[in-house]
Structure 1
Amino acid sequence: MEIDFSKSLYELVSQYPEMKEIMLGIGFNEITKPGMLQTAGRYMTIPKGAKMKKIPLATIIQAFEEAGFQIVGERE
């Protein structure tokens, strides 16, 4: 499975619901808040969220790769 980091979080979680648990495990606690994906998630990308939360993008990439995903697209 490929994850395009240039897509919004909303798009990605809609396509791969299991991403929510991976993101939660990394430290994106807001992803479980009601309405968060429908609002901020529509414009937020994983790299932007990583920068805001001060989570190294390499940590996120590693978590997704360990879960069987291949990362494509924006990495900054």
Structure 2
Amino acid sequence: MKEINLNNTVFQLIQEYPELKPVLVDLGFTPLQDDRMLQTVGRMMPLNKGARQIGLSQEDLVHSLTQHGFEVKE
């Protein structure tokens, strides 16, 4: 099982699980379509904080990640 820690940065998680990027883009993390944003903001932004900034509830984030085969650690 692919384990996601919501406190890890978006960059770390996508480096470990490249298949996560389109999932996050579909959830509203549209700036990730630009690799420069991933390289800059993504290196500093924990996934849980990024979700809050785009108005995505943690419950919806966890549900979607679980549906895509990830196990979420908070």
Is 1:54 the counterpart of 2:55? The answer is yes
Between the aligned partners of 1:56 and 1:4, the Cα distance in structure 2 is 16
Between the aligned partners of 1:6 and 1:15, the Cα distance in structure 2 is 14
Between the aligned partners of 1:16 and 1:34, the Cα distance in structure 2 is 15
Code of the aligned partner of 1:19: L
Helix, strand or coil: the match of 2:36?
coil
TM-score scaled by length of structure 2: 0.92
Is 1:25 the counterpart of 2:26? The answer is yes
Between the aligned partners of 2:29 and 2:71, the Cα distance in structure 1 is 20
Question: Structure 1 segments of 4 or more deviating over 2 A?
Answer: none
- Tell me the alpha carbon deviations over residues 6-57 of structure 1, each in whole angstroms, 9 at most, x when there is no partner: 1111100000001111101111111111301110001101111111111111
Unaligned runs of 5+ in 1: none
Between the aligned residues of both structures, percent identity stands at 29
Between the aligned partners of 1:5 and 1:44, the Cα distance in structure 2 is 10
Between the aligned partners of 1:3 and 1:57, the Cα distance in structure 2 is 13
More helix by share: 2
TM-score scaled by length of structure 1: 0.90
Match of 1:66 in 2: 67
Unaligned runs of 5+ in 2: none
Over aligned residue pairs, what C-alpha RMSD do you find?
0.9
